[in-house]
Structure 1
């Protein structure tokens, strides 16, 4: 296919995707679909930063623009890009381009790293030996082959009877196209058994599991079969933060969730997520979210009431 034909095909798919997503998003919010791992996000306004622990997923913006913050790094992406998160990462995301006439529209396809590993085993991807770890989040440029598979996946929602048989096949194709991309090696390294990145992924699972317990670097080093200094270096390569900073993000995001969902005392919530000092909890909470726990919770509830009114 000629370069001009490829560009034309990509443009056509980019134009088709927003109208498809709008069929299944009559209002703002996150919308589950009949394909269990596929979600649509719609926002008619720009947003404040939204904090979450992002699970492995492919995100494609069909309309609008967004910025994702990982530690001190900013990743901007719009309709010509896609974002891949290949390991659980505490991030903040903010819609920076949206309006009532042209709402922000995004497709999110969650995936299990084991799906990627099975695909690699069955494919003929070249085997490379890369000593250093790769970041667990990246933005890359979309292409016609990836967009074509994504559009076909969304079209399956119009034929629910086809989903059980065809959706897994199209999802495999989408993951295959990501692995073929310029930064596909980053995803590959995070799932390949024995790689530095995959060992860091196991450490991340342990920290998530025991986020409210004291961090024991010696135990994590043994789990990763690395020295403490090597663990620290590779962990930062994957997550852009140290193990302690990662744990702190998990604790504070869980604390915020608890404060919003329960009528709990801030000090009690701090203890629940692993803090022994209420003053330290309040100080670190304010450093991340901009306000102390109680004031931040009140602000968020007012914002929620405003959105629902």
Structure 2
């Protein structure tokens, strides 16, 4: 199966972020660059742990801006496996040795973080699917400030939905919005008056009664926050049976039910899986997620590596 060209998702402005990362990492003199000089060299990108490869456009852009070339042995979204515990050559980078080292840490940090999010996303999705969940698995907006583009991109490569990208992507009304406006109905109606037909409204609720109010007020998505096990399933089934248009309910409405709050890979199969639940959203795939370890090693002889994907060192 041909993997999608995920890089086509990125906005026109994203490469300026790469320039900012490079400027942050070398704001003044490049002492190490002076030491090594500009002789052309070859470096190998090595995977030191298994995982899903993600972040290729960011890695490429770092070295493109530094006048280097990158030849990949794997495609974005591929699962990298180690061979006998040995490090695997993932890409070959060529260019002036000073520039290879100038881009090394920025490129590795970005690739490691993005691949870590993609790997955690794929593992979470597989766990949910194996438990019988047929709906949407989504990340959350609890991302690292300034690094959201990379982390959300990693979610997509890992196969999950990125949920809303930012505050402007979808209307989400949480407990503070409800308290500030006096009621769920007031909050939904006020949001709809400016959001129009093109924006979905997602409302966080704590009980069946709050969910009913949100649905009748016109919410598109009902987030059943911190409900688990039988309480979650019974609430979701009752809402779909009593209020959803697809069930033939007179005056029924169309809405999605979202389960959220404290869901991770260890508990997703234990009380969040039911056909009445449309979405499982979690921050476990990007908060406190382990990076995938890569290294970049300059070959002193500048000898080209084998093009075989299974090359290990």
TM-score bin, normalised by smaller chain = under 0.3
TM-score, scaled to structure 2: 0.25
TM-score, scaled to structure 1: 0.25
Structure label with greater radius of gyration: 2
Q: Kindly indicate which of the two structures has a greater share of residues assigned to helix.
A: 1
